[in-house]
Structure 1
Amino acid sequence: MEYKQTVLYVEDNQLNMALMHHIFKKNLPSVRLLKAETAALGLQIARQKLPDLIILDIGLPDLNGYEAMDELKNDESTRPIPVLAISAFAQRSDIERAQKSGFSGYITKPFQVKTLTEAVEKLLAGIA
């Protein structure tokens, strides 16, 4: 299969990783999903592969999502890549912090598959 676009998913939870893999395979088959279990690995992959979109968990064990976002925005090569935050932190203050940090969107866990799929499609199409 030839992929049209690439998304990097940075997530430390194996069940969430498996769920996202299934969602992409079923609902976004033309999009290649790269995976990283730590922020450090995610940053390395982002710099090497320059994906079209990054989905970044906020609650990572090494760097949190905000720290990883700072790294992405401070790197000229990764700065233009839209980043979608995904987190169980669902307070209004969490969402506002993510917006101020430069995230292109924020999805709370547990999420609806349709909500996630639509957000990914919009960001990949450049509609944010």
Structure 2
Amino acid sequence: MEEYKRTVLYVEDNQLNMALMHHIFKRNLPSILLLEAETAELGLSMAREVLPDLIILDIGLPGLNGYEALEILQQDEATCHIPVLGTSAFAQLSDIEKAKNRGFAAYITKPFQVKAFTETVKRLLDSGL
């Protein structure tokens, strides 16, 4: 059985993006356990239960969107310390600024540049935000 050093929760409703993320973690971040949730509601529940080291949160989720989920995470004493990496296909400068102003620790646009994404994940895990 593998021993993981860190845990990351990925909240994403698109199965292709989820499969890509599993591939990226297996190849580039093998010591990190990747957990998944298909909705913000499930992600919030898992975040409270597991207390991952990092949450990767899609902005365009059905139901609660990423901004609403981030606000709930920030207001919860159990999860407010967990850095959250926002992801979205929205790549305008205004989208990036909005995400940073709302409190995301970082924001990566889709499609991902794998090297930049991997470096961002490592930086957020190492920063201990």
Q: TM-score, normalised by structure 1?
A: 0.98
Name the SS for the 1:107 alignment partner.
strand
Does 2:112 align with 1:118? no
Amino acid at match of 1:86: T
Amino acid at match of 1:58: I
* CA displacement 1:17-50 (0-9 Å, x = unmatched): 0000010011000000000000000000000000
Unaligned runs of 5+ in 1: none
Please report how far the alpha carbon of residue 60 of structure 1 lies from its aligned counterpart in structure 2 after TM superposition. Answer: 0.1
Match of 2:84 in 1: 83
Name the SS for the 2:55 alignment partner.
strand
Name the SS for the 1:54 alignment partner.
strand
Match of 2:106 in 1: 105
Amino acid at match of 2:6: Q
Alignment partners' CA distance in 2, 1:28 and 1:10: 18
Q: TM-score, normalised by structure 2?
A: 0.97
Please report how far the alpha carbon of residue 127 of structure 1 lies from its aligned counterpart in structure 2 after TM superposition. Answer: 6.9
* CA displacement 1:71-98 (0-9 Å, x = unmatched): 0001000000000001001111111111
Name the SS for the 1:117 alignment partner.
helix
Amino acid at match of 1:35: E
Alignment partners' CA distance in 1, 2:38 and 2:128: 28
Name the SS for the 1:48 alignment partner.
helix
**Structure 1 segments (4+ residues) deviating >2 Å:** none
Name the SS for the 2:91 alignment partner.
coil
RMSD after superposition: 1.0
Unaligned runs of 5+ in 2: none
Match of 1:53 in 2: 54
- Count of paired positions: 128
Please report how far the alpha carbon of residue 62 of structure 1 lies from its aligned counterpart in structure 2 after TM superposition. Answer: 1.1
Which runs of structure 2 are paired with 1:6-85 in the superposition (5 Å)? 6-85=7-86
* Percent identity of equivalent pairs: 70
Alignment partners' CA distance in 2, 1:31 and 1:81: 16
